A = this chain, B = another copy of it.
């Protein structure tokens, strides 16, 4: 009744932005990501008969409150599926994702939790089944089940049975890199969850956003299969700009961008004028991620690291899916 799993974070190139069902975490569009090496969560789940409730340790600290509640609610789903509704677990996690990096550690966290808990409780799941159940913990986590490139298919069933991720290409298909440019940041004012909700409910651009996704997806998948950095980069950049545009139309409007965010965006576009194939993507926060191929890493780092508002640059390669330790 004990298992340990490790999962990496992923970075969406086609963004998940909008839920059609908040409870089941069903999205309003397909999304596509690259799983990244080196930024991961390792989680051990031990179901024990003597426990009367779940306990959760993260980085050697016992967690209570909202974060604890999210974990136990997720374990409730696992228990129900395994028909072991009175069996509680000790969950021990270590998170190797720097909080400031602007990567969603909830993605690696819930992917590792889902993998470890389903194995510990004796469920034998395919990757699709694991991805589907992982989705219930955190939407973007369902893509971290796979290495390399994964697409979360939104599905159409109201119960979410066809809403899970599939692999588009494994990590050894293409050594694509992502560098997180960490900016001196004010505290994030609006959670992605809240931002997403406000956008869906109030932005006149939301329909335009979802309508534009199928074409972006088709093009980026053909770009990934052809290892075409220009195509993949341009679509990633355009897709993230569209996501951020939807927020400017919300009531009240909001943005996660700081002036330094825009400065780095322009720097990256200027690099291209100098012949460096670098592209950006930005999640629901101020940091910018650069997309590039390995031979340009040195040059890109050089051009960004001296900027006064850049605190740190974390370079990542394509990473693997779930591993069991």
- Chain B residues near A206: list those with CB within 8 A: 208
Q: Which of A218-242 contact B (CB under 8 A)?
A: 234, 237-238, 241-242
**How far is B257's CA from A244's CA once the two chains are assembled, in angstroms?**
14
**A161 sits at the interface (CB 8 A):** no
**Interface size bracket, A side:** 20 to 34
- Chain B residues near A238: list those with CB within 8 A: 251-253
**How far is B257's CA from A261's CA once the two chains are assembled, in angstroms?**
12
**How far is B261's CA from A258's CA once the two chains are assembled, in angstroms?**
10
- Chain B residues near A258: list those with CB within 8 A: 262, 266
**A248 sits at the interface (CB 8 A):** yes
**A304 sits at the interface (CB 8 A):** no
Asked, given contacts A212-B204, A242-B204, whether A262 binds B252 with beta carbons under 8 Å apart, the answer is no
**A118 sits at the interface (CB 8 A):** no
Q: Are A249 and B259 in contact (CB under 8 A)?
A: no
- Chain B residues near A255: list those with CB within 8 A: 262
**Cβ 8 A contact of A248, one of B204, B234, B241, B251:** B241
**How far is B199's CA from A242's CA once the two chains are assembled, in angstroms?**
13
- Chain B residues near A263: list those with CB within 8 A: 259
- Chain B residues near A261: list those with CB within 8 A: 262
Asked, given contacts A207-B208, A260-B259, A262-B258, whether A242 binds B234 with beta carbons under 8 Å apart, the answer is no
- Chain B residues near A242: list those with CB within 8 A: 204-205, 248-249, 253
Task: Using CB atoms, name the residue of chain B closest to A251.
Answer: B238
Instruction: For residue A227, give the distance in angstroms from its CB to the closest CB of chain B.
Output: 22
Q: Are B204 and A208 in contact (CB under 8 A)?
A: yes
Instruction: For residue A241, give the distance in angstroms from its CB to the closest CB of chain B.
Output: 4
**A211 sits at the interface (CB 8 A):** yes
Task: Using CB atoms, name the residue of chain B closest to A238.
Answer: B253
- Chain B residues near A203: list those with CB within 8 A: 208
Asked, given contacts A204-B208, A205-B205, A211-B204, whether A237 binds B259 with beta carbons under 8 Å apart, the answer is no
Q: Are A241 and B262 in contact (CB under 8 A)?
A: no
**A245 sits at the interface (CB 8 A):** yes
Q: Are B253 and A237 in contact (CB under 8 A)?
A: yes
**A57 sits at the interface (CB 8 A):** no
Q: List 7 A-B contacts (CB under 8 A).
A: A204-B211, A205-B249, A208-B208, A241-B248, A242-B253, A258-B262, A259-B262
Q: Which 9 A-B pairs have the closest CB atoms?
A: A204-B208, A245-B248, A245-B245, A259-B263, A259-B259, A241-B248, A204-B212, A205-B205, A205-B208
